Chains A and B, each alone.
Chain A
Amino acid sequence: MIPVIIGATFILFVLVFALPGEPWQGRCGERECPASYIEAFKREYNLDKPLLLQYLLYLGKLVQGDLGVNFYNNRVIDELAVRYPTTVKLALIAIAVEIVIGIAAGLLAGINKGRFLDSLVVVSTLVVVSIPVFVIGSVSQWGVLQLHLNDIFPVTAAQGTIKQLILPGFVLGSLSVAYVARLTRTNLVENLRADYVRTARAKGLSTGRVIGVHTLRNSLIPVVTFIGYDFGSLMGGAIVTERIFNINGIGGFIFRSISQRDGVSVVGAVTVLVLVYLVANLLVDLLYGVLDPRISHD
């Protein structure tokens, strides 16, 4: 994990450095910034030093848990702390939608393979996958407003309360819901043909137990893996969904920081995201070993 973090932060650092434009642009009103201001700005943020030295100074602070102060004189850690709870809430809602709706739809389709319910799930997931998130988001807002449901499902989420995040959570989860449903269906259909399912039936078990215990456990292994990774990436915020619903989350913060050449904020935020993603991956790997004994013992 540590090499990944060092590598990721270094690449980020170089990329931000390579961006055209200077961070002090536009900070002095309509005119060019005076040379003295630029000098002071550079000294303040170590920008006068060579790139590698800048990076090492940054890394030194990073290992002490200090993400630095951005070009607006705010501590990056505070900027993140304000926004992270909203992002986590949004991600959790999206994941809950994926688990409940995705797996249920996949199970229904898999058990009724080749029948109407199956076709319904297959076609509707295809439609959902094909539509970009900003379309789903905007259409859902329009629909809610048309039906006068704005009190129940607010179409904006400036404060980031759970209630406000339900509609955006559904929109954010919709893409993966379709994927989870298809993954569940495919794996269920495949596992229902397996020899051990025939054994389970030969044991005189009820259909519910054959599917619910014997087949489901095997079928959900890849699904759980996917959901775990997806949670890791959702924790990095959702730029499009956040913009549509006016959510003050991590995604929007990173987007703004990039457009403002605020390198310290970008590198700090993304470092945290990399960490979160790595932890999520680690958890998925551990979980995988628990779900499939063949992995941990081999």
Chain B
Amino acid sequence: MTEIKHSARGGVPLDPAAPLLVVEDLQVEFRLREGVARAINGVSFELAAGQTLAILGESGSGKSVTAQAIMGILDSPPGFVTGGRVLYRGVDLLQLPERERRKVRGAQIAMIFQDALSALNPVFPVGWQIAEMLRVHRGLNRSDAQDQAIRLMERVKIPAARQRARDYPHQFSGGMRQRVMIAMSIALDPVVLIADEPTTALDVTVQAQIMRLLQDLQDEFQMGLILITHDLGVVADVADRIVVMYAGGLVEEADVVDLYAHPAHPYSRGLLDSIPRLDQKGSDLPAIGGLPPNLLHLPAGCAFHPRCPLAQDVCRSGAPPARVELGPGRAAACHFVDQTLTAGRPA
């Protein structure tokens, strides 16, 4: 098994000592008819083996675009990576020729999508879709690949996997479909798994099962997991580290405990305050006023200033410091980090 894995990984000269995945100053823009939208504006983070990194943000904050840029599956045009590096074990994926990159994609860095009903091909049986990974990347023949697909379906706890492998995506429940998606993503024992809102389309009880399954698989294989979500509850349960994104930029990076206890960016604070709490029953739920900015017309200065309770003239006139270091692995992009840290939670 491991030998097959190594031979499949031949071709790309990986450095085993280098960090698993490093994203450095990633820049993505969408060249639309209406103008150029800067979807990702200098995002950096690092992921270690066995670690869970949550990327948190509202719709349109650039979470999914970041994931797609790492995978190399941006819709292009209109999306283009215009700068930065994505280092996988020391190799910059953005510089690899497409043929080489395809060997990494799906095999070593795999991805799970939000809505498995639309993300799975409606006209092929699920077993075939899982087996396709093994046939294309490992050159397995049809029946061996099918057998292994069934084993993968068993591993993600799909009952009666052998019979169900012949079924089509629409014949599965939402939770089972997401399991199929997961089975497909882990087919080649990837070392990095990117889960783009894996539970958003599911019932709450099913959400918990899927998250547990992902955690079990992660523990078993020591995968690095990037969890893209806007669900703060999910994050608190499973993430080790969090990066918070706003309008295509990274506003805060921290350990999960630190972020929940002492958010350093007003946006992070706003997000946390908007979680309903039992001890505040009866009072209005604080919300971040206003709407996320239009990426085609970002506000001058700090992108968050129109919605920020702490905004001063300095926020409107110039960009905030990209990183105010707050200790190891902890940084925020704000002029008023100290005020935010010390301010108590508003009642």
Contacts and interface: CB of A to CB of B under 8 A. Distances in A.
Contacts of B105: 201-204
B122 A218 contact: yes
B123 A217 contact: yes
Given A195-B113, A196-B121, A293-B122, A202 B168 contact: no
Contact of A294 (B71, B133, B168): B168
Contact of A202 (B110, B118, B136): B110
A215 B75 CA distance: 15
B295 interface: no
Most B-side CB within 10 Å, residue of A203, A214, A221, A294: A203
A295 B161 CA distance: 23
B115 A294 contact: no
B152 to A, nearest CB: 14
Interface residues on B, range: 20 to 34
Interface in A174-225: 193-196, 198-206, 209, 214, 217-218, 221
A293 B123 contact: yes
A291 interface: yes
B102 interface: yes
A39 interface: no
A27 interface: no
Contact of A214 (B121, B137, B184): B121
A120 to B, nearest CB: 20
Contacts of B124: 214, 217
B73 interface: yes
Interface residues of A, number: 24
Contacts of A214: 121, 124
A203 B115 contact: no
A297 interface: yes
Interface in B149-188: 168, 170-171, 184
B106 A202 contact: yes
A141 to B, nearest CB: 43
Contact of B136 (A196, A204, A218): A204
Contact of A206 (B102, B121, B184): B102
Contact of A292 (B110, B119, B122, B133): B122
Contacts, number: 76
Given A294-B168, A297-B170, A297-B171, A202 B111 contact: yes
Most B-side CB within 10 Å, residue of A194, A198, A217, A297: A198
A292 B125 CA distance: 11
A205 B123 contact: no
A198 B102 contact: no
B120 interface: yes
A294 B170 CA distance: 7
B119 A218 contact: no
Contacts of B122: 196, 218, 292-294
Nearest to A209: B136
B106 A203 contact: yes
B168 A199 contact: no
B104 interface: yes
Contacts of A198: 68, 73, 75, 113, 119
A218 B123 contact: yes
Interface string B234-264: 0000000000000000000000000000000
Nearest to A192: B75
Most A-side CB within 10 Å, residue of B68, B73, B184: B73
Interface string B24-42: 0000000000000000000
Nearest to B99: A206
B73 A201 contact: yes
A292 B168 CA distance: 10
Contacts of B133: 203-204
B103 interface: yes
A204 B123 contact: no
Interface string B121-133: 1111100000011
A47 B103 CA distance: 79
Given A195-B113, A198-B73, A199-B113, A204 B119 contact: no
B210 interface: no
Most A-side CB within 10 Å, residue of B71, B103, B122: B122
B334 interface: no
Given A292-B123, A293-B168, A204 B106 contact: yes
A196 B184 CA distance: 13
B185 to A, nearest CB: 8
A204 B113 CA distance: 15
B14 to A, nearest CB: 16
Nearest to A202: B111
B110 A199 contact: no
Interface in A94-131: none
B123 A291 contact: yes
Most B-side CB within 10 Å, residue of A193, A195, A217: A195
Interface in A253-295: 291-294
B255 to A, nearest CB: 29
A202 B111 CA distance: 7
Nearest to A205: B136
A291 B121 CA distance: 13
Contact of B184 (A194, A203, A217): A203
A297 B168 contact: yes
- 8 closest A-B pairs by beta carbon, nearest first, are A204-B106, A204-B105, A195-B118, A203-B106, A196-B121, A293-B168, A201-B73, A202-B111
Given A201-B73, A202-B106, A202-B111, 4 more contacts: A195-B118, A198-B119, A203-B133, A209-B136
9 contacts: A194-B118, A195-B115, A195-B118, A196-B122, A204-B103, A204-B107, A292-B122, A293-B125, A298-B170
